[in-house]
Structure 1
Amino acid sequence: MAEKQSQLNSAYYGPSIPPQDQSYQRRGRSRSCCYRLFKCLFKTTVSVILIIFIAYIIAWFIFYPRSFKLHVTDAKLTKFNFTTNNNILQYKLDLNISLRNPNKKVTIYFDKIKANALYEGQRFDTESLTELGFKVDRKSTHFLNATFAGQQLIELDAHEISNFNEEKSAGVYSIDLRFYLRIWIGIGDFITGKYKPKVKCELEVPLSSKGNSSTARFETTRCHIYYLITRNHRYV
């Protein structure tokens, strides 16, 4: 009985626990540091992106670039003959065109400009208005000329031939233009991404003939502009 009492009164420390591996502790601390570093870098990157985005939006609303305006200011049609036996259209069309930059703080840079001339939805000629790029400064207007001349095979159905004969009698023809170009918007030394607007013009062009002073006059026509955007940015 005394032996049992002495055993109960003796200190009991339980089973011995081996000390933790120090290399394991170092790996844990290393992983924790990497995680905190990655988290800090991620928050910093997100913050920088948000700041840049907000600054871009603010700058956009401050400058608020407006689209350029394209007008056909004059059109002279001296030949427009269609022969039904061989479906050949003979034509001679001269155009005066204006490009207007209405912005106070923005410069617009234009690349090569091509124009298609169409009748009844069919292209009968393509002309390049300029081979070199140019810019239109703030609140400025740039003028271009284009000439479509020659002959082209086009196929008109009975309804379209009837429309042609009616326009021939009236002396005024419905001719469409499609302009293809690339532009950049300049704000100071920074130039925005490349824009590819499509420009459509619906013209009512009277046929001019020598000695005919009663011919209707062409009225300046504003064209419609539609935008496609590519995400490129560059500096000058």
Structure 2
Amino acid sequence: MGKASTVTSWLCCPCRCLFCGVLSCFLSVLACVLLTAGLVVLVLYLLFRPHIIHATAVSADLTNFTLTPRTWILRYNLSLALQLRNPNKRIAIHYHDVAAEAYYEGQRFAHADLPDFFQDTGESSPLNTAFLGHGSLVGGVAAAGFRREAAEGARFSIDVKLGAHMKLKLWVFRVPGPKPKIDCPLRLKRRNATAGAAGPPPEFRPTECRVWF
């Protein structure tokens, strides 16, 4: 019994040593790769000092925002002007597949595609979008929220969200960048129907938008 156990242990020992050697080698290579990648990322960060873009809603005009009773059809005419700033001193940005969506009470009611554009280092770019049309609100909660805000001065809580793809220009190199998401929570007063579209829009205070990746 003792001899059999000794023979079995002796036969398994080379396998264990081989496995431990391969595992140790793999872990060493993995540690070197991770360390090298971390150093490269640190050097690139210190070299380019990337900063997140800034977005501000500078003006908005809610010409029409009405809800048909019982059918809950929402008719809208909204124009929004954004100012997008690239604070980076060494990174230029090319935006493509830019799209904007408007939400009310958590429901998307409008979509608009925007043109591609290029933004140089330290540059600010205007970004204008417009939503015009009609759609339906689902559920009584959204309709109740609309009636409440309409009765409280016709000032509505509308979220405008933008998304895009980025290509970053680092010196002469262009590399894929992150996909930014911009969220602009707005409180917009609807135009007075008696004033007409020719009159001045209601006062709007510039609003900082949230930006993340």
- TM-score (structure 2 length as normaliser): 0.75
Match of residue 220 from structure 1? 206
Residue range with higher mean Cα deviation, 196-205 or 119-128: 196-205
1:50–1:87 CA distance, 2 compared to 1 (3 A)? same
Deviation (angstroms), 1:224? 1.2
Contact 2:137–2:143, Cα closer than 8 Å, also in 1:
no
In the alignment, residue 173 of structure 2 is paired with which amino acid?
F
Equivalent residue in structure 2 for 1:109, among 94, 97, 109? 94
- 1:166 equivalent in alignment to 2:156: no
Cα distance in 1 for partners of 2:95, 2:186 equals 23
Give the TM-score normalised by the residue count of structure 1. 0.68
Query: Identity of paired residues, percent?
Result: 27
1:71 is displaced (CA, Å) by: 1.6
1:160 Cα deviation after fit: 3.2
Deviations 1:86-121 (CA, angstroms, capped at 9, x unpaired):
110011001111110011221122112111111111
After superposition, the Cα gap between the structure-2 partners of 1:152 and 1:47, relative to the gap in structure 1 and judged at 3 Å, is: closer
Cα distance in 2, alignment partners of residues 107 and 100 from structure 1:
11
Where does the alignment leave 5 or more consecutive residues of structure 2 unmatched? 1-24
Tell me if structure 2 keeps the 8 A contact 1:68–1:99.
yes
Which one has the largest radius of gyration? Answer: 1
In the alignment, is the contact (CA less than 8 A) between 1:171 and 1:215 conserved in 2? no
Taking a change above 3 Å as real, the CA distance of residues 62 and 87 of structure 1, as seen in their structure-2 partners, is same
Residues 91, 151 of structure 1: 8 Å contact kept: yes
Deviations 1:109-150 (A, max 9, x none): 2112111111111111100121xx322111111112111011
If each structure's strand is expressed as a fraction of its own residues, which one has the higher value? 2
Aligned to 2:133: 150
CA-to-partner distance for each residue in 1:35-93, whole Å, 9 max, x for gaps?
xxxx9xx98xx979855652442121232110111221111001000012211001100
Summarize deviations over 1:189-219 as a string: whole Å, max 9, x none: 2334331122211111111235388975111
Aligned residue pairs, count: 183
Residue matched to 1:85? 70
Instruction: Give 1:165 shift.
Output: 1.8
Distance 2:111 2:173 in 1: 33
Structure scoring higher RCO (CA < 8 A, sep ≥ 6) equals 2
State the Cα RMSD in Å.
2.7
Q: Which runs of 5+ in 1 are unaligned?
A: 1-38, 228-236
